[in-house]
Amino acid sequence: MKVLLVNGSSKSAGCTFTALSEVEKTLNEEGIETEIFQLGPRPVRDCVACGKCAELDNQCVFDDDMVNELIAKAALSDGFVFGTPVYYAHPSGRILSVLDRAFYAGGAAFAHKPGAAVASARRAGTTASTDVLNKYFTIAQMPVVSSTYWNMVHGNTPEEVRKDEEGLQTMRNLAHNMAWLLKCIDAGKATGITRPENEKRYRTNFIR
**Mean pLDDT within 29-46:** 95
pLDDT-derived band at 64 (thresholds 50, 70, 90) equals confident
Three-class SS state of 121: strand
Q: Is the Cβ–Cβ distance between 136 and 163 less than 8 Å?
A: no
Radius of gyration of the chain (CA): 17
Nearest to 71 by CA among 138, 144, 140, 118: 140
pLDDT the model gives residue 15: 98
**Cα–Cα distance for residue pair 77/92, rounded to 1 Å:** 23
**Cα–Cα distance for residue pair 162/94, rounded to 1 Å:** 24
pTM, to two decimals: 0.95
Residue 114 has pLDDT above 80, yes or no: yes
Task: Please name the amino acid found at residue 101.
Answer: R
Mean pLDDT of the chain: 96
**Cα–Cα distance for residue pair 56/38, rounded to 1 Å:** 25
The DSSP code sequence of 127-154 is HHHHHHHHHHHHHTTPPBP--SS-SEEE
Q: What percent of the chain stands above pLDDT 90?
A: 90
pLDDT tens digits for 115-174?
999 999 999 999 999 999 999 999 999 999 999 999 999 999 999 999 999 999 999 999
pLDDT tens digits for 165-203?
999 999 999 999 999 999 999 999 999 999 999 898 888
